[in-house]
Structure 1
Amino acid sequence: MADTEVVISPVSGKKDLDAFIALAWRIYADDPNWVPPLKSEMVELLTPGRNPFHEHADMQLFLARRGGEVVGRISAHIDHLAIAQPVEQGMGPGTGNWGYMEAVDEATCHALIAAAEGWLKQQGMHRVLAPISQSIWEEPGLLVQGFDHPPAIMMGHHRPEYKGWIESYGYAKAMSLKTYDLDVTGGFPPLVNKIVEMGERNPRIRIRELDLANFERDVQIVIHILNDAWSKNWGFVPFTDTEIRYAAKKLKPLIRPDVNMIAELDGKAVAFMLTLPDANEVIKAIKGKLFPFGWIRLLLWIRKPKPRTMRVPLMGVLKEYQSSRMASQLAFMMIEYIRRVAVGTYGTERSEIGWILDDNQGMNAIADAIGSKVNKDYWIFEKPLEG
């Protein structure tokens, strides 16, 4: 019957955008491990003029309907900074993306992907990397392992069926992004502690907290190290100045300077480690709704967080030091300093580290050395576009 067919249409206007965002609440209504996003944040992310990602990207949102009911959604986008990167680093010319895919069944999923691919081909793209929900720095990848517990802040959660649906439409894994779970209450192995102690005796090394009184200066230091440290990594896309200011403003309320570290060598900033209290703990409790009273609960939590989990989303060491023993020593020192404060000041019990690229041998080795275990795995898939 005609009313059982899936109809795909571009998102147009506020009503469609609201439907695009609201679908996730229905898809995950019975999933106890899904953490709803703040609706206002989603509107901002998806609205040109409010999110600086759109300054260097073209995006089209689509809705799937069956019998007039919304049954799926997807975005298709081209990040012009991503297609300017070298092909051997994963992105590169001709590579488009889709993301934000949610669907009630496999047929709907395939219809949505077909619409996204069609739009990308119209824009001249010949390859897809997906899912990437906007920037590689947002929520890249599809969850394929770790469905049994909620994600930490700025990480995604998906239906287990999606992996098979995507693969059955011709996609293959391009890269795995792993997060690691770490019990921080008991300290680290003796060898790690010895490396930290040796670093503490080295007068050339200084590990300092992020300085909120000079927040913009330290943000620039962090971004400089990040863009240098990650510049050869798979999937890397540089931050623009506008994105730096935007991210700093958004994250500043969550920043606790005593768990965010910059490492200096001979007075030069050479490494950093960012740590965020897991705001998903309270966002899940308020079900993503700021009104009428959710904002009060969130504000109180932000002022005096006592998170069970801290997440380390980013760290970096300048390329010139990455092949040296100094790099791992600085990493161990920052991790241990953060661990001490997280446990002693905030009552934190665990940390989530990552995501870490599957081919990042140095960071995966550090995660293994401190006794952490992979708790979630996110895949980014690829597919050539024919004709």
Structure 2
Amino acid sequence: MVQIHEVDTGDPRDVERFVQFPFRLYRDCPQWVPPLLSSARKQLDRQRHSFYRHSDAGFFLALQGNEVVGRIAVLEPRKRNTYRGRKGAFFYLFEVIEDITVARALFSAAFDWARSRGLEEISGPEGFAAGDGLGALVKGFEHRPAMGISYNHAYYDRFIQDSGFRKQTDYHSCYVPGTIELPERFCRVAEKVKERRGFRVLRFRTKAELRAMAPRVVDAYNAAFAENREFVPVTGEDAERIVDRMISLTQPDLVKVVAKGDEIVGFVLGFPDISAALQRCRGRLYPFGWMLLMWEMRRTRWINFNGGGILPQYQGLGVNAVLYYEIYKTLQERRFLHADIVQVNEQNAKMMQEMEALGVDFYKTHRIYERVL
């Protein structure tokens, strides 16, 4: 018999049961990448995580006897709801053994929690802030996920749909080999666009330079994605948290910003993929995990491009060609062997077509689901 237990986020033992369950669920799965345990615990910390300054969340465990067999988080994103005029919830951090009755019990608890707050719809998996991985994996189970992106068992799609969800949208991740060769004509076009339009590419040598530019990149992000589904401006503590995470995980020369005069018109963010080190240290920074992560950041031959955009008034003016050329040059200059362009929304038809024309492989797909309550 399945029992549902609401996590007391003030009880460290309860929090630990919630955080540790995926480590047991995926212990024999070579593709799964554990989160940093400190970050996973912080998601349940109502005093420290910026999400709780404006929103709320509930966390549930499924138990058979004393054994944890599933978990789910349900979020009330009040900031999103106010901005978008919605009464919606997100589900997130869903993990379950291969038992559909456990999944049904978890979703039932999530639905009840959301309804009790007057919410009328639920979608997910969607997280606490911009930059959290989106969706449940539905294609590419043989591949390791990009850093910060979820991995799950293949039966999740069936279990989620069984609880009344339907597809909302898909996000595709693209594999680019380091040996890719852009046509010479394409490179010439990118250079001519810069010359004719007065664009220049800003490069960074230190993290201090990157931090000084970060508020302007956040502003550019807000402008570039204002019309996207579920967009909410990144501001205040949420922006500070995202900037801190970005700067801690990247290297200055992997961030490329296109400017016209003093105005940022486009950007792309690259991150060394340290997933292999996270697997080796099992998500623990101490005593030696941080050393493994720093070493992997210098030696990895994988790069993730996770975050990029063009201001609406500059779309169609060739900024995309400049950014693609910068991605290509990054691969060549740093001698990366593999690149993952992370989670391109299928509704971004233009970018999907451009990626296909460049010969990339859409090798992983994550799905967002939705249903009414």
TM-score (norm 1): 0.90
State the 1:136 CA deviation.
Answer: 4.9
Map of 2:53 onto structure 1: 55
Cα pair distance change 1:216/1:280, threshold 3 Å:
same
Task: Flag structure 2 segments of 5+ consecutive residues without an equivalent.
Answer: none
SS at match of 1:339: helix
Cα pair distance change 1:142/1:42, threshold 3 Å:
same
Could you tell me how far apart the structure 2 residues matched to 1:259 and 1:131 are? 28
Map of 1:332 onto structure 2: 324
Query: Which is worse superposed, 359-368 or 105-114?
Result: 359-368
Identical residues among aligned pairs (%):
26
Could you tell me how far apart the structure 1 residues matched to 2:322 and 2:82 are? 32
Cα pair distance change 1:309/1:299, threshold 3 Å:
closer
SS at match of 1:84: helix
Aligned match for 2:303, one of 302, 310, 326: 310
2:6–2:58 Cα contact (<8 Å) kept: yes
Matched, 1:374 2:342: no
Query: Which is worse superposed, 312-321 or 368-377?
Result: 368-377
Q: CA deviation digits over 1:41-84, x for unaligned, max 9? A: 21122212222122121001111111121111101111112112
2:276–2:296 Cα contact (<8 Å) kept: no
Map of 1:363 onto structure 2: 351
1:98–1:129 Cα contact (<8 Å) kept: yes
Could you tell me how far apart the structure 2 residues matched to 1:188 and 1:309 are? 19
Query: Which is worse superposed, 108-117 or 282-291?
Result: 282-291
SS at match of 2:299: coil
Letter in 1 for 2:366: Y
Structure-to-structure mapping, 1:1-387, within 5 angstroms? 5-12=1-8, 13-86=11-84, 92-104=85-97, 105-199=99-193, 201-202=195-196, 204-210=198-204, 212-302=207-297, 305-322=298-315, 324-343=316-335, 348-385=336-373
Runs of 4+ in structure 1 deviating by more than 6 angstroms, as ranges, are none
State the 1:166 CA deviation.
Answer: 0.8
Query: Which is worse superposed, 364-373 or 75-84?
Result: 364-373
SS at match of 1:283: helix
1:225–1:318 Cα contact (<8 Å) kept: yes
1:76–1:116 Cα contact (<8 Å) kept: yes
TM-score (norm 2): 0.94
SS at match of 1:46: coil
Could you tell me how far apart the structure 1 residues matched to 2:343 and 2:152 are? 16
Letter in 1 for 2:104: H
State the 1:223 CA deviation.
Answer: 0.6
Could you tell me how far apart the structure 2 residues matched to 1:102 and 1:377 are? 18
SS at match of 1:180: strand
Letter in 1 for 2:352: N
Q: CA deviation digits over 1:124-177, x for unaligned, max 9? A: 011111112333531220000010011011111001001001111111000101
Q: CA deviation digits over 1:330-366, x for unaligned, max 9? A: 32233233233332xxxx1111112111101222123
Letter in 2 for 1:35: V
Could you tell me how far apart the structure 2 residues matched to 1:197 and 1:295 are? 40
Aligned length: 369
State the 1:207 CA deviation.
Answer: 0.7
Could you tell me how far apart the structure 1 residues matched to 2:73 and 2:201 are? 42
2:194–2:322 Cα contact (<8 Å) kept: no
Cα pair distance change 1:97/1:200, threshold 3 Å:
closer
State the 1:191 CA deviation.
Answer: 4.0
Query: Which is worse superposed, 181-190 or 109-118?
Result: 181-190
State the 1:321 CA deviation.
Answer: 1.2
State the 1:201 CA deviation.
Answer: 4.2
Could you tell me how far apart the structure 1 residues matched to 2:30 and 2:283 are? 14
Letter in 2 for 1:183: P
Letter in 2 for 1:113: F
SS at match of 1:164: helix
Letter in 1 for 2:306: P
State the 1:198 CA deviation.
Answer: 2.1
Query: Which is worse superposed, 282-291 or 229-238?
Result: 282-291
Cα pair distance change 1:168/1:267, threshold 3 Å:
same
Task: Flag structure 1 segments of 5+ consecutive residues without an equivalent.
Answer: 87-91
